[in-house]
Amino acid sequence: MKGLLTLKQLSVEKILELIHFAEDLKKGCRLSYPNKKVATLFFENSTRTHYSFQCAILNLEAKILDFDAKVSSVSKGESLYDTVKTLEAIGVDAVVIRHQEDEYFKQLEGINIPILNGGDGKSNHPTQSLLDLMTIHEEFGKFEGLKICIVGDIAHSRVAHTNIEIMRRLGMEVYISGPEEFNDNSAEWIPFDEAIEKMDIIMMLRVQFERHQEKMKMSIEEYHKKYGMTEERMNKMKEHAIIMHPAPINRGVEIASNCAEAPKSRIFAQMTNGVYIRMAVISQALDGKLSC
């Protein structure tokens, strides 16, 4: 299958190549695909992934077909496979899909156009991880030996799961922290206040209330006090250390509002980098090109 479904399918060399290409695109290298059409299919809500993919398509001078599941034949029972097969048949060159089901792409064996995964259930968010890695590379110029702690609702986070796997492969030391109820043992656990003082990167996560089967065992106020990025905690971080967050952010829950836009925060830089990463991934899917 063409496209990008998970980072596990990519070698470290290919991931570094994509990041370097995105950095070149950010420096101004230009590509143009005026005869290509890319459809964006978002079955789950999104702001960053949806619209940064669309900005990337426009920056590449390709055309966007924005699929709206609510007014499509999905509402008449058409399957995901038949929806994508239809887009392929009418001449779409690639599709971006976000879906609530883990590994939805397993239903799409037999599709011949590239599929770019915009997030599946709790499992994968490959372009988010790539933009996180680009932001880290931009900051530190390397991955090997960097210490990161991912903090919060690990169990429900496709970002955490994707990042833990690839960051380990890149030689980073990956830790997790937050409430025990969200610990799925996907990496070594560390107390949050210890992580604050030791890490190069603290990556905060949103509490994904919409995915919870049971109510969280503490109030939002208690969560913020015990596991939130507060000004006091931010001031205890190493001088060179940075704060990341895939967003959307819940100001006052996992992060205090003034920390979100503090000099240590790279949250909005991550979003900017997302456009270049998605341009690189689309270019690779359309014609295998990873240079201008």
Measured distance CA(47)–CA(249) in Å, rounded? 12
Measured distance CA(77)–CA(205) in Å, rounded? 35
CB of 247 to ligand CP, least distance (A): 5
User: Site residues for ligand CP, window 119-178 (CB under 6 A)?
Assistant: 119, 128
At 13, list the tokens: 């060399």
Measured distance CA(182)–CA(199) in Å, rounded? 20
| Residue 246 CB contacts under 8 Å (≥ 6 apart), including other chains | 48, 125, 128, 132, 159, 203, 205, 206, 270
CB of 291 to ligand CP, least distance (A): 27
When the beta carbons of 31 and 119 are compared against ligand CP, the nearer one is 119
In DSSP notation, 191-217 reads -HHHHHHH-SEEEE----GGG-SS--S
Say if residues 96 and 38 touch (Cβ distance below 8 Å).
Answer: yes
CB of 187 to ligand CP, least distance (A): 20
Q: According to the binding rule CB under 6 A, does residue 72 interact with ligand CP? A: no
**Contacting range for ligand CP; rule: CB under 6 A; set: 10-18, 48-56, 62-70, 83-91:** 48-56
Q: According to the binding rule CB under 6 A, does residue 248 interact with ligand CP? A: yes
Q: According to the binding rule CB under 6 A, does residue 47 interact with ligand CP? A: yes
Of positions 36, 37, 48, 233, contacts ligand CP by CB under 6 A: 48
Longest Cα separation, the chain: 56
When the beta carbons of 224 and 245 are compared against ligand CP, the nearer one is 245
**Contacting range for ligand CP; rule: CB under 6 A; set: 28-36, 41-49, 141-149, 257-265:** 41-49
Q: According to the binding rule CB under 6 A, does residue 99 interact with ligand CP? A: no
At 212, list the tokens: 């919870």
Size of the site for ligand CP (CB under 6 A): 10
Of positions 246, 254, 276, 278, contacts ligand CP by CB under 6 A: 246
Would you call the peptide bond into 248 cis, given omega within 30 degrees of 0 as the criterion? yes
Q: According to the binding rule CB under 6 A, does residue 79 interact with ligand CP? A: no
Of positions 150, 172, 247, 259, contacts ligand CP by CB under 6 A: 247
Count Cβ atoms below 10 Å from residue 152 Cβ, excluding itself: 28
Residues engaged in binding ligand CP (CB under 6 A): 46-50, 119, 128, 246-248
